[in-house]
Amino acid sequence: MRKISKILLGAVVLLFIQEAIAQEQQPKPKFEFKPYGFIAYDLFVDTYKSVDSKDGESYLYPLSPDFDKNGKDYNKRTMLEMTNFTSRLGLKIAGPDIFGAKSNGQFEMDFMGTKQDYIQLFTLRHAFINLKWEKSELIIGQTWHPIIANEVAPSTVSFGAGVPFHPLNRSAQIKYTYHISPLFRLTAATAFYGGHKPSGPAVAQRYSGKPDVHFQLSVGNRKEFLAGFSAGYKWLTPRLKTDSSYVTSKTIGSYDVNAFIMFKPASTSIKAEVVYGQNLSYISMIGGYGMKTGSNNEQGDFDYTNLKTVSVWCDIQQEISNWTIAVFTGYQKLLGADDKYTTIKDYNRDDNLSNIIRVSPRVVYKVDAFSLGLEYILTKAVYGSAWDSNHKVKETLDPVSNNRVLLRVAYTF
């Protein structure tokens, strides 16, 4: 019996030794890490108080005029700011094949903070896993919202790449892309908003129990040419109970569509986009939603209605040796609602606006890792003074303008 036990014990030990040797012989997963980022210094001067955040670094458009008893505008004044919290740090990770796909991941942070009180603290920009097969790709994590085509973004010196005319939103998502051919791509995605939420209660999407869904079709080699369009739909349930303490489950849905194009003949780059939709506040555009007038009942419940917005922009850039000369232009218009509209405080992004326009020339000098950029940003806002029942502007105030001159010094690694 002892002899049999010794034989069994020896066999078990031998099996463990063989397994250990086999594992040693197997190639271990290899990871490659590539840090990247830049150190930035921004100096900018404004001539009119505006809708902005993060010490003015995240800039949208001028505030509505505010006059004193002598008719002087409080908002008209010269302001100076210097910041460096747009500096960025990222890490790209390439790993082993998973499920037959090449795997990689990415982290990226800046120091913008999540709101004004938290500037100069880390902000998570991107954190996602990417699996690439021969004809498809899967992204899981937080990155640019699916409405955004990375290759078709303005190359402005200022933070935000032309916001609010160009969409700005990073969201948690699951995004699947199928390569129909070397040129055609079809993308389907579901997304949940992170730091960029629609106007209204921050929990409205969570209460709805539904994600934002988006589809995009694009064509091009993504280096010299790219064109495409996308369409999306989202649901929001702003309240679980009315002000009279009755249960409510009223949900509002809204759609958005966009079309974009980019082509780079030789040293010239031309990019353009148009965005149209309901409640585009989630991508930092004007608009939102409110109450459908006359729908409220005795229990304090009511239906919602969306405000519609259209936004267009174009960015033209020319490279000459170490120099880049370019101009960005944008226009955005609030179109009113399909139903009779009553405003609800904080459920919209400036529904008293009629339109905003921007012209922004820039020049950038680059040598190796160093760049010096100078940008002039003229942003004009026209506010309404009278509206019809669907909140379409009938009369407007005189335009207000902000002139911003921005100097940026950056060291990229």
Domain spans in the chain, listed from the N-terminal domain onward: 34-412
Q: Which of 63, 271, 256 is nearest to 161 (CA)?
A: 271
- For residue 27, the model assigns a pLDDT of 63
- For residue 9, the model assigns a pLDDT of 47
- Which residues of the chain fall below pLDDT 50? 1-2, 5, 8-9, 12-13, 15-16
Contacts of residue 291, defined as CB under 8 A and 6 or more positions apart, other chains included, come to 302, 303, 304, 305, 341, 342, 343, 344
Other CB atoms within 10 Å distance of the CB of residue 169: 23
- For residue 195, the model assigns a pLDDT of 83
CATH class of 34-412: mainly beta
Q: Strand 76-83 relative to strand 88-94: parallel, antiparallel, unpaired?
A: unpaired
SS3 content of the chain, % helix, strand, coil (to 5): 10, 55, 35
Structure tokens at 71: 């008719």
Contact 262, 269 (CB under 8 A): yes
Where is 231: in which H helix or E strand? strand 225-236
- For residue 12, the model assigns a pLDDT of 44
Q: Which residues pair with 206 in a beta bridge?
A: none
CA distance 288 to 204: 13
- For residue 25, the model assigns a pLDDT of 56
Angle at CA of residue 196, ends 191 and 198, nearest 5°: 85
- Using left for φ > 0, alpha for ψ between -120 and 50, and beta otherwise, residue 283 falls in alpha
Q: Which residues pair with 110 in a beta bridge?
A: 88, 123
pLDDT digits (tens, 9 = 90+) for 322-347: 999 999 999 999 999 999 999 999 99
| Cis peptide bond N-terminal to 198, omega within 30 | no
